Structure 1
């Protein structure tokens, strides 16, 4: 019967025979329970050979709502695939003969057979609609954006239905999820507790062209946003290219509204502030350390009734900012190397590195190269809290404490700046509202004898420019790489995305090397043309105490637009090892540029990520901060690998 049941029909005869050997045939008399609702221990998958079963939701208020599954079908796969308790009760309608497949054996089948996995994935997506809640939320939000106003009260039920992995208590009416609240607050404007109206715009209106002089700028702790307080209670937020930024802002606001409502109900009930447990109060103090009680009072008075206006200049958002940003890079290139990008010699190479804008210049800084030993000695002699964390490379410790060293010896800041300017490292002053900082590096001027010891001590054999850009945000990456590809054209020798990602395998501080990308919006697989140019074995040698995972990366729409079902699905069906937000956007446009001939066919592509969080584990997700000794070694190991690849190409 296996060859007649999809997806089992896509197994080879040998795989079917092996499966039959590992499965167990069982017989169930009428009314016998095959699957008990709520059970977490049993993960078996059943193939019905004879008879039929009834499927019942014990929590359904309509007891007559029963489904029937007949022979020739399978059931029970979600417990094994998604690591979730049994959601429904299944019992025999008559005498049933079934083949029971152990859950781990079923997962092995998914990993061994691509045809089986893809057919199973199609059934889960199309027939069971496991991602329909994301479609409903996304469509509703985009519709409201197109109408110029976002109505949070309409979105909240759709957001709750997502069950975001970072918001595990979203459905609880009473249990405060302080960890999730902290995540949202750190990514929203600091004045969110006292703001009643947000004006989201992709372009500063002419009336507010001098916003930086007229209004107070509002900081955002963990997300680069340009926010101005126009009036008490009203703030203007400049949104970046593409939809990702506005999606992220609204999702964070949804999370905040749900948790603020819980907090308000507690405070306004009997007991006031005393109704909040000491544990939750301590957690709230980590969010608002200086004015905790005042912030709680503001939440209690607010009622989360935000007015949100959205103004868009064009459907593709503020591409003008990216163009202005790119024009600045062209002007800075002329200042640095004396040549306009349009006039570069035929043998001149340009390498783009998308990363934070610290690790690359730090590795190439002659000042840090010469002063690293002194910085490490200072850290250890002063008893710095990071000094005894067991660093494998002293230079990593030097990078970790360099900022504090400069605070202790402020006269060294000018020495560093002068040395790096002489070494051809130029930092651009303004991001043109893109939020993407830029450093340009003329490799002909780098003092290679004084660079990080983990990279070659000599420069490339061709004149080269390194364009080091900060992380793009989601869809913004497409517009950014489009402008850079237009600016440098066939001089673009490599594009290197050196990012941080959520890990679906391994631990925090491990590294993922992408073999391809899965675009979650379309469930589409994008292989890397020519393969990933990262030398995986050399990278592993750089990190002997960390794992390097090679596999697909999942490009998601947002950090809150994912749940455990989605992550487990892509881990097993698409064999993803991690998730990020920009890779598919970069890759898709590079492929288009190559096909049009505007970028060379032999462009080298490197995509590698250090694991900053584990979204399937509540103790290690984005809400839990990464320690320096967890994040800095893989960050610099991947930076050294990218620079080595560029210098040896």
Structure 2
């Protein structure tokens, strides 16, 4: 290589002069071999002398031009990158001085920047390069041009570290020339979820290392490499390596070589997608003078993933082959292992170990000694209340045969009494007693069957509910162990003695019939907690969790010592029992037939119109009953005093604040209005189906033809007036006519054949129109419920509307997610078919613009895909980043794909009506990625409850948007 143009010219001139001196004195024609020209033989000496200088000049010029061409070919580029050439004859290099250390020298690849007198690659050549590069070959030409313009170019010295282990990747790296060696530090564990098992599986590791040969030269050695190969490989003398690079090369001797990245290959892609740190070390190869990389910035990579689905799916397949889903797969493998199906106990401690590898977004202090009271509270609210005194859990899909017939009936009655009284059913303690055990945040049927320490749990499905229960139990075991270890460490005086003294005094008061004041008891508990080895935050968290029973629960944790056994019943007996979902659907049909005055055993009439809404149990009733309009003054006075709500003027819709304060009003100041609330539901014809058939799903049956539109939510009234006016059907008389409820027309079964999508003739209302408002389904339970309800009502179902809460991957808490498509995450399952499934959400009539109008300016609406995951505790940052970047998901939830799968299946089979409408909308309850991104958003975790003003406006905006489409005729 040449340092200056002047040096090049001087060397060429010297060679030209040498060539002139050596040149023969004959003409070009005489240079032909075997020439016997008589003219040359008879030429005079003077003629030869006369022509010799001219011929010499021509010869010198020819030799100089030939030399220049050879040198030019040696230092200039080929037309295409993939043509055969050694790296030494490749494109230009940038100046890198030893004293500059690891400073990065960059220039835009397409720019004609002159470095050491030679230009870099031009834009067209780089585009040709990308057309033969993995992933980038799928880009359009304009996108390739954008990539080239956004890329940075850097050259590395032999042995220089490109990306260290543990470092973040601000770029994606494309190898343009040379090679990059990949090493794995030997002192790091291979079980870390951050370590890519795809990149360096132990079975493929080769023991290679940097080695110093005799004479102080360095080369890359393979234990199986022959000496002849070593002689052919290029080596560098020790003094040729940069002083800053030499220690790094020597460091690699203690590492394991994983492979090499050659020209046309990329690396760092998964780090850009998952925002991980690198588990490997990438080092510029030393078999060439330089290694040239093109660096594509992280922002440009993310833009490509969002714009080009072919590129994103190609990248997704590459990244998905790593270890993103392995921790969840391992957890599921031991939950659903064959021994569980053989009616045996689960390997709980192995499952617990696999749970710790998931590193989910809720249990953030899993590996810390600090007690994670937020995650523990979240888990305990989803476990049976007697978890601290239960040693054996029996998880069943149906009541097992060892339960007596009388106990079966008692169990069902206990379930009904639970929903009537909103509390657990207490019975006398004996061997045959049935006690319903309450689970605060899960409508899961759980009983204590007479014997202490054993609890029977009826799972709602054999997949998501089982995973949810075990993952929550893992959280409880881990945090209980932390608490017990902390308290047992107190020896002067022993903590157990302090707790024992408190419990003896409390039991003595209870035996004497003394009732302790709750406020005084809470102060006493606080004083005792101050003497325990707990931080102030931990004391507050435990006190918020257990209130006055805090010390009792701590004592139970210390005595229990996490000695759990979990047994899963294979459900063989369920084959001989009625499917609870079918029993639930048949009860629902009987109630609707009864409301129409027909025999409950008849087939439903063809003109029956059903709109299904999956929501909570109070939102739809609040909007459609007359209670809040009749008692507006009392509710408003209470709402203005409720500090949680803030000023009513700050609410976009004032009635939302009234709905949020209803529960507090009825349970504290105005308990006398409870009867009025029930009466208002009865006047509107709304019926609550209490018998859930042990599915845990409460149902409201709402006859739309019986509603009085003048007493429903005022925002809905205005919407109906406006939309009816736009359709040209509104005047004062027609509006009053449409508002008034009307009785059902009497028809025989032979006359019930008109389709429900035909235009109504009376009052602009359908004749037999019902809304089935069912409580939130949980996970895979949605599929069983949806199949059962379609099997009963079939084509009479006009729409399916799913609303709920979801974790947000974009935006803020309280925003609305309007999915265009739902994605079933199957990558973490332990089945052969692990391809994620994508299904459309048509969302007829439900638009982002209308939801923004209903929710107000403080709520954003995000359109995109939503991913359905297996459980809230089975999601981690890497998995969510994968679905956000690769699939463009805006949120994560647990039910939508199960609904969509059944609806699509029945639609194709002709079971569902051809004009069936579906709507899906969610409000953002937490920000799983935001809680890890910065400390400012730690309150966005699902373990931290939402404030009233965060969730209520978006919830009722979605409900109003759905009801507008249901109440108006087509």
Between 1:45-54 and 1:545-554, the stretch displaced more is: 45-54
Contact 2:543-2:550 at 8 Å conserved across structures:
yes
Query: Secondary structure of the equivalent of 2:294?
Result: strand
Aligned Cα root-mean-square deviation (Å): 2.2
Gaps of 5+ in 1: none
Give yes or no for contact 2:184–2:279 (8 Å, CA) kept in 1.
Answer: no
576, 581, 584: which one aligns with 1:322: 581
Q: Deviations over 1:478-525 (max 9, x none)?
A: 110111111111110000001111111111100001111111014424
Check 1:227–1:528 CA distance in 2 against 1; reply closer, same or farther (3 A cut): same
Q: Is the 8 A contact 1:58 1:88 kept in 2?
A: no
Q: Across the two proteins, how many residue pairs are aligned to each other?
A: 645
Q: Which has the higher strand share?
A: 1
CA spacing shift, 1:88–1:171, aligned 2, 3 Å:
farther
Match of 1:9 in 2: 137
Structure 1 residues 399, 106: closer, same or farther in 2, change over 3 A?
same
Q: Which runs of 5+ in 2 are unaligned?
A: 1-128, 191-253, 415-426, 428-432, 496-531, 722-737, 740-763, 827-833, 932-937
Q: Which residue number corresponds to residue 46 of structure 1?
A: 173
Q: Out of 666, 673, 678, which is 1:406 matched to?
A: 666
Q: Secondary structure at the match of 1:290?
A: helix
Check if 1:67 corresponds to 2:258: yes
What secondary structure does 2:714 align onto?
A: coil
Secondary structure of 1:560's counterpart equals: helix
1:613 aligns with 2:917: no
| Cα deviation 1:198-233 (Å, max 9, x = unaligned) | 111122233241344623222222222222223222
CA distance in 1, matches of 2:790, 2:586: 13
Give distance in 1, aligned partners of 2:130 and 2:185. 28
1:478 aligned to which of 774, 783, 797: 783
Structure 1 segment 31-430 matched on structure 2, within 5 A? 31-40=159-168, 42-50=169-177, 51-57=179-185, 59-60=187-188, 63-71=254-262, 72-94=264-286, 95-126=290-321, 128-143=322-337, 144-148=339-343, 149-172=345-368, 174-205=369-400, 206-207=403-404, 208-209=407-408, 210-211=410-411, 212=414, 214-230=433-449, 231-270=451-490, 274-314=532-572, 320-339=579-598, 340=600, 343-380=603-640, 382=641, 384-388=643-647, 390-407=650-667, 408-430=669-691
**How far, CA to CA, are the matches of 1:175 and 1:430 in structure 2?**
43
Q: CA deviation at 1:59?
A: 4.8
Distance 1:476 1:428 in 2: 18
- Distance in 2 between residues matched to 1:319 and 1:242, nearest whole Å: 16
TM-score of the superposed pair, with normalisation by structure 2? 0.64
Corresponding residue for residue 443 of structure 1: 704
Q: 2-side partners of 1:603 and 1:315: how far apart?
A: 36
CA distance in 1, matches of 2:706, 2:490: 69
The answer to whether 1:632 aligns with 2:632 is no
Q: Which shifted more, 191-200 or 566-575?
A: 191-200
SS in 1 for 2:300: helix
Asked if structure 1 preserves the Cα contact closer than 8 Å seen for 2:186 and 2:255, the reply is no
Deviations 1:118-148 (A, max 9, x none): 011111112x242122222212211143132
8 Å Cα contact 1:515/1:532 also seen in 2: no
Does the aligned pair in 1 maintain the 2:185–2:255 contact within 8 Å? no
Deviations 1:66-111 (A, max 9, x none): 3233223212223332233344332323332111111111111111
Within a 5 Å distance, the mapping from 1:520-535 to structure 2 comes to 520-521=825-826, 522-528=834-840, 530=842, 532-535=844-847
Partner secondary structure for residue 782 of structure 2 = helix
Q: Secondary structure at the match of 1:600?
A: coil
Partners of 1:90 and 1:68 in 2: CA distance = 10
Measured in 2, the distance between the counterparts of 1:354 and 1:39 equals 46
Q: Which residue of 1 aligns with 2:245?
A: none
Q: Shift of the alpha carbon at 1:383?
A: 5.2
Distance 2:601 2:862 in 1: 37
TM-score by structure 1 length? 0.94
Give the alignment of 1:13-28 within 5 angstroms: 13-28=141-156
1:588 is the counterpart of 2:895: no
Deviates more, 1:68-77 or 1:307-316: 307-316
Q: Contact 1:502/1:612 (CA < 8 Å) preserved in 2?
A: yes
State the distance in 2 between where 1:316 and 1:67 align. 52
> SS state of the match for residue 624, structure 1?
coil
Give secondary structure in 2 for the equivalent of 1:539: helix
